[in-house]
Structure 1
Amino acid sequence: MSAQKISRRVRILRTAERMFAQHGFESVGMREIAAQAEVSVALLTYHFETKDNLYREIFRDRSEVLDRRLSLLESVVFDRPDTIAQIVAAFIDPQMELRATPEGLAFAQLLAREATDPSSNARGIIAEFYDPLAFEFIAALQRARPDLSADTVRWNYLFGVSALSMLSVDDRALRLGVNPELTVDETGTILKEFLVAGLTA
C-alpha cells in the first residue's frame, strides 16, 4: 500500500474516530465523515464498505493499547507486596499514555461512549475486543487475591473500568471542581491509588 493510501486511510480513521466520539455512532453518517476527511464517499466505501466496518476498524486500529496492557500484565511478578499495584498499572498506564495526545483522547472518549451505550451490545465491539483482555485481568486479580470471591473480583474489575471511563467525561469533573491543570500522569496516579486501595482492602 502506498504512503498516500496509508495517509488517507489513517486520516479517515482519525476523522471518524473524532466524530463518533463527539456525536455517537448513530448520529454520524458516511457522507459527513467523507466531507470532514476530505475524501470522496466512493473512496470511503472502497476502503471500509459500510459504517459498521469503519467503526469496527477504528477499534482494531487501536488494538496496540490492548497488546500493551497484556504485555505489562504478563510481566507482573506475583507473591510480592506490590502485585496488585503492578496489575493496576498494567491496566491503567497504557490507556493514560493514549490520553496524552488529542487523537488518543478522542479514542478514549469513544471507548467510554461505546462501553456505556446500551445499543453497543448489538455491535459487539466490547465483547470482541475488550472481554478477552478483561478475563485475563480478572484471572490475575483472582490469583493475587485468592481470599476474595470470584464475583467480588469481577465487580472490582468492572468498578475499575467505570472509574477509567469517567476520566473521559472531563466536563463533569470540571463542574465538580477538579483542578483543570492536573496532568495526565497526576490523574493516572490518583486513579491507580484509588483502585489499589480498593483491591487491597
Structure 2
Amino acid sequence: MFGRLSNTRMPQTRARRAHAPDAASRPDRKAAILLAAEKLFAQYGYHAVSIRQIAAEAGVPPALVGYYWGAKHEMFHAIFAHWRSTIDERLSLLRAALDGPRPTVHDVVQAFAEPVLQLRASPEGEYYALLVARELMYRTPDTDRVLAEMFDPMAHAFIDALHQLRPEWPRARAAWAYQFAMGALLHHLVDYRVQRLSNGENTPNDAAAAPLLIDFITAGIQAALPTPASKETPP
C-alpha cells in the first residue's frame, strides 16, 4: 500500500508532506479522498474513474490517494467498509422486528428500506446510496466481489425472514420477492423523472414518499407470498 508513494519521483518537501502529513490535516485529507472517490464512482461508475480524477476532486496530489487507500479496488472496498454501519443497522432492525410479538412483512420491509432512504439526508450518504444502486444495476466482475461480500449475507437474512413469515412457500419464491423489492428501492434512488412525470408536483427522493414506497413494497411481497387464507396451493 505504501510502496507506490516511495517509488514516485517528487520534490523532497512534497514527499515529506505525503509521508508525514500534519496531524490535524491527515484525517481531513484522507476522508476527502474517500468522499471524492465515492462521489465520482456514483456519478460515472467504478471503471470510468481514474486515480488522477479522484485526486483532482479531493484537491490532493495523486500520490496521496495510493498512500492513504492503496489501489483503486482497495478504495472501492474501503467505501463500503466505511458504510458497514448501514448494513448493521438494517440487520439490527430486522432482528428487532422478528423478535417482536407479531412480526409482519411490513416490519421486515421497513427494516430493509428505511436506513437506505435516510442516507439521502446528507450529500455523503446520497453519494453512497447512488453508488450502491449503480453498481448493483451495472455490476462487473471487479465490483461484484465487493458487493457479494458486503451485501449477500444481508440479502440472505432478509430472504430467510420472509420465508419465516411465509413458510408455506418455497424459500426460492421469497428470494424472488426480495429481488423485486430491491428493484423498487433502487429505482426510487436513481430515477429523478418523477418531478417531470408528476407535472412538477413531486420532487425526487422526497422524504414524505418513504412510507408510500414501504407500503408499495409490502403489498408486492404480500401478493407474491400471500397468507394461507388467500394463497393458492404452491406448485
Mark yes or no: TM-score above 0.5.
yes
**Equivalent position to 2:142, from 118, 122, 134:** 122
1:193 pairs with 2:204: no
Instruction: State the shift of 1:151 in Å.
Output: 1.6
**Which structure has the greater CA radius of gyration?**
2
2:138, 2:205 → 1: CA distance?
28
Structure 1: 5+ residue stretches without partners = none
Q: Which runs of 5+ in 2 are unaligned?
A: 1-20, 224-235
Q: 1:185 to 1:33 in 2, by over 3 A?
A: same
Counterparts in 2 of 1:71 and 1:118: CA distance versus 1, 3 Å:
closer
1:136 corresponds, among 131, 151, 157, to 157
2:106 corresponds to 1:88? no
SS for the counterpart of 2:192 is: helix
Please give the root-mean-square deviation of Cα atoms over the aligned residues, in Å: 1.9
Q: Calculate percent identity across the aligned residue pairs.
A: 36
When residues 179 and 56 of structure 1 are mapped into structure 2, their CA distance, relative to the original with a 3 A threshold, is farther
> How many pairs does the alignment contain?
199
Task: Report the Cα distance in structure 1 between the residues aligned to 2:207 and 2:155, rounded to whole angstroms.
Answer: 23
Deviation at 1:118, TM superposition (A): 3.8
Query: 1: CA distance between counterparts of 2:74 and 2:201?
Result: 39
Structure 1 runs of 4+ aligned residues shifted over 4 Å read none
Q: Report the CA distance between 1:170 and its aligned residue.
A: 3.0
Which residue in the other structure is 1:105 paired with? 126
C-alpha distance in structure 2 between counterparts of 1:185 and 1:89, whole Å? 14
Conserved in 2, the CA contact under 8 Å of 1:100 and 1:184? no
Take 1:129 and 1:24, find their aligned partners in 2: how far apart are those partners?
A: 18
Contact 1:15 1:36 (8 Å CA) reproduced: yes
Q: CA deviation at 1:63?
A: 0.9
